[in-house]
Amino acid sequence: MRVWMADGNLYTLSDVYRHELKIKRSTFIGTVAPARSKAEAQAFVRQISNEFHDASHNCFAYRMDPSSFRYSDDGEPSGTAGRPILSMIEKYQFIQVVLVVTRYFGGIQLGTGGLSRAYARAAEETLQKVSRRPVICYQQLRLHYDYSFIRAVHTLLEKYGGKVVESEYQHQVHAVVEVPREFASEFQTMLQQQTAGRIVVEECR
């Protein structure tokens, strides 16, 4: 079992992973997958629900970013399934993921507290077994510069792991670029230094 400490970074995963456990005769099956959009997450929930169509419940949560998420108890008492699943996704700092916890009822009532703990445990054990990969958050910048600075701009973009999103060539070059957020400030400073302050940089909102 991995022990992860909160480090302020955000993570996703590359592959689908499944974990099964039994709690007081009920079988809980956690299935987690990457999801780059709400539509992709919802399609995955339907896929798992179809796969386990005979299950008592297919509860889920997905999280696109810290402010965009959804969860469902799928017939379990309100607040006992979806929210505990989401809490584990948040605890392990995942975004762009969807996690479905399927339950086959084993005949023993768990109570609301027991259900919450069971779904949280199933979600946590599933997430603890996956390999996380960092999500790089980008800052978009709008640049305006003379043609003579094209090479300098592209060299710095390569150095800082950035890329050109769009560009327009008129009397000057007008470009929108993306740079990893952690390097955005240093990238702007270096641009000004290498162009003697003759480049205009605007942050895209």
pLDDT of residue 8: 61
**pLDDT band of 2, cuts 50, 70, 90:** very low
CA atoms lying within 13 Å on the CB side of residue 113: 0
Own/partner contacts of 75-81, CB < 8 Å, gap of 24 or more, are 76/103, 76/115, 76/119, 77/112, 77/115, 79/112, 79/116, 80/112, 80/115, 80/116, 80/119, 81/57, 81/115, 81/116, 81/119
State how beta strands 17-23 and 26-34 pair: antiparallel
Write down the mean pLDDT value for the chain: 92
Q: What is the average per-residue pLDDT within 175-197?
A: 92
Task: Name all domains of the chain by residue range, CATH numbers in brackets.
Answer: 11-134 (3.30.230.30), 138-203 (3.30.70.240)
CA distances from 54 to 4, 34, 104, 107, 159 (A): 35, 25, 8, 15, 53
Residue 3 has pLDDT above 50, yes or no: no
CA distances from 9 to 53, 93, 132, 138 (A): 36, 7, 11, 13
Residue 160 has pLDDT above 80, yes or no: yes
Q: What is the average per-residue pLDDT within 123-146?
A: 91
